[in-house]
Amino acid sequence: MDAQIISGKEISEQIREELREKVAYLKDRGITPGLGVVLVGEDPASKIYVNNKIKACEDLGLKSKAVILPAEVTEDELLKKVDELNADPEIHAFLVQLPLPKHIDENKVINRIDPHKDADAFHPFNVGRMLIGDPIFMPATPHGIQEMLVRSGNDPAGKHVVIIGRSNIVGKPVAAILMQKGKGANATVTVCHSRTSNLQEIVKTGDIVVAAIGSPRFITKDMIKEGAVVIDVGTNRVEDATAKKGYRLVGDVDFENVKEVASAITPVPGGVGPMTIVMLMKNAISAAYKANNLEM
């Protein structure tokens, strides 16, 4: 039997409707939440994500400010932009799109963001708050994954979650969030990476498998336990002459075959991506509440 398709598109729209009420409450008080997005360089995929974020802001009635800088921008110039956004009263939260060009130290930039305006929750202060289970902001992609699991009826409590990938923006925070003592968590977590021995065997023990590798169709049917829930974070562009744009977006999971053994699976596109965007909106709105001493 084919798996339940967990639609990030539908779940994110449901969350968007909940957020509309939160925005209306602020607007009644004369407050418009503002999100800033800094993009360095011309990476076409990054541009699409940034545009998606700006469209979501427009849809929800948030003010958005895109700061587009050339790839040659110096680290100092970028840090100055961060300082400006930190000081801008109309911008309640912002993010700097990663990756940055090689001549810029990403950690230095992230460290410069005011932790109370840190829409991504990438600042070490927020990483620490998240890890101890007392977050100000939650990182958007991992939080979106948690919401998808819970809202699709696949609560991770007591389940063995196998994560493939240990990046600071996906793998590690997914592990930290799902192992937490608390609602929507309480999972037993294993994290695999490029140095993992017996990766196939470990993945096969997962009740929930989260793929965050960046390698098209890396997770195949033979690696998945019958009835497992599969979350595909990967967004890989692969050439496809038959597609309008000349490429197609594919996940880290071999969707067509894995759906035959999984009990539930997320598609790409329309899975984790839209969840990331809506959780980012949630952080911007929540920052506007906090900046005005309001309870969200």
Ligand X SMILES: NC(=O)C1=CN([C@@H]2O[C@H](COP(=O)(O)OP(=O)(O)OC[C@H]3O[C@@H](n4cnc5c(N)ncnc54)[C@H](OP(=O)(O)O)[C@@H]3O)[C@@H](O)[C@H]2O)C=CC1
Site of interaction with ligand GUE (CB under 6 A): 48-49, 52, 95-98, 120, 140, 235, 249, 268-271, 273-274, 276-277
In the complex with ligand X, which residue's Cβ is closer, 162 or 233?
233
C-beta of 242: minimal distance to ligand GUE in Å? Answer: 17
DSSP helix/strand/coil, 154: coil
Give how far Cα 66 sits from Cα of 138, 146, 156, 279, 290, Å: 22, 28, 36, 18, 22
Question: Distance from CA of residue 124 to its chain's centroid?
Answer: 17
Closest CA to 286 of 92, 78, 155, 65: 92
Residues 135-174 that bind ligand X (CB under 6 A): 141, 164-167, 169-171
C-beta of 48: minimal distance to ligand X in Å? Answer: 11
Is 234 annotated to bind a ligand? Reply is no
C-beta of 283: minimal distance to ligand GUE in Å? Answer: 10
Q: Does 283 bind ligand X (CB under 6 A)?
A: no
| Sheet arrangement for strand 229-232 | 4-5, 264-265, 229-232, 208-211, 160-164, 188-192
Q: Please name the residues in contact with 105: beta carbons below 8 A apart, sequence gap of 6 or more.
A: 75
Residues 214-273 that bind Mg ion (CB under 5 A): none
Q: Which two tokens stand for residue 32?
A: 């418009």
Residues 196-225 that bind ligand X (CB under 6 A): 199, 212-215
Q: Which of 120, 207, 232, 252 is catalytic?
A: 120
Q: Does 34 bind ligand X (CB under 6 A)?
A: no
* Spatial contact of 191 and 185, defined as CB atoms under 8 Å apart: no
CA atoms within 13 A on the CB side of 153: 5
In the complex with ligand GUE, which residue's Cβ is closer, 23 or 212?
212
C-beta of 186: minimal distance to ligand X in Å? Answer: 24
Round to whole Å and give the CA distance between 248 and 54.
Answer: 22
Round to whole Å and give the CA distance between 217 and 185.
Answer: 27
Tell me the window of 26-34, 81-89, 98-106, 225-233 that interacts with Mg ion (CB under 5 A).
Answer: 98-106
Is 16 annotated to bind a ligand? Reply is no
Q: Which of 126, 146, 180, 276 binds ligand X (CB under 6 A)?
A: 276
Q: Which of 74, 194, 200, 220 binds ligand X (CB under 6 A)?
A: 194
Tell me the window of 105-113, 164-172, 180-188, 231-239 that interacts with Mg ion (CB under 5 A).
Answer: 105-113
Per residue in 12-28, is it b (16+ CB within 10 Å) or e — as a string?
beebbeebeebbeebee
Per residue in 122-157, is it b (16+ CB within 10 Å) or e — as a string?
bbebbbebbeeeebbbbbbbbbbbbbbbbbbebbbe
Q: Reply yes or no on whether 53 is catalytic.
A: yes
Tell me the window of 27-35, 50-58, 117-125, 187-195 that interacts with ligand X (CB under 6 A).
Answer: 187-195
Burial of 269 (0-12, 13-18, 19+ CB in 10 A): middle
- Tell me the site size for Mg ion, rule CB under 5 A: 3
Give how far Cα 274 sits from Cα of 81, 84, 270, Å: 27, 29, 6
Q: Does 267 bind ligand X (CB under 6 A)?
A: no
Q: Reply yes or no on whether 254 is catalytic.
A: no
Is 167 annotated to bind a ligand? Reply is yes
The catalytic site residues sit at 53, 97, 120
Residues tagged in the binding site annotation: 165-167, 235
Give the residues lining the site for Mg ion (CB under 5 A): 100, 102, 106
Give the residues lining the site for ligand X (CB under 6 A): 141, 164-167, 169-171, 192-195, 199, 212-215, 233-236, 272-273, 276
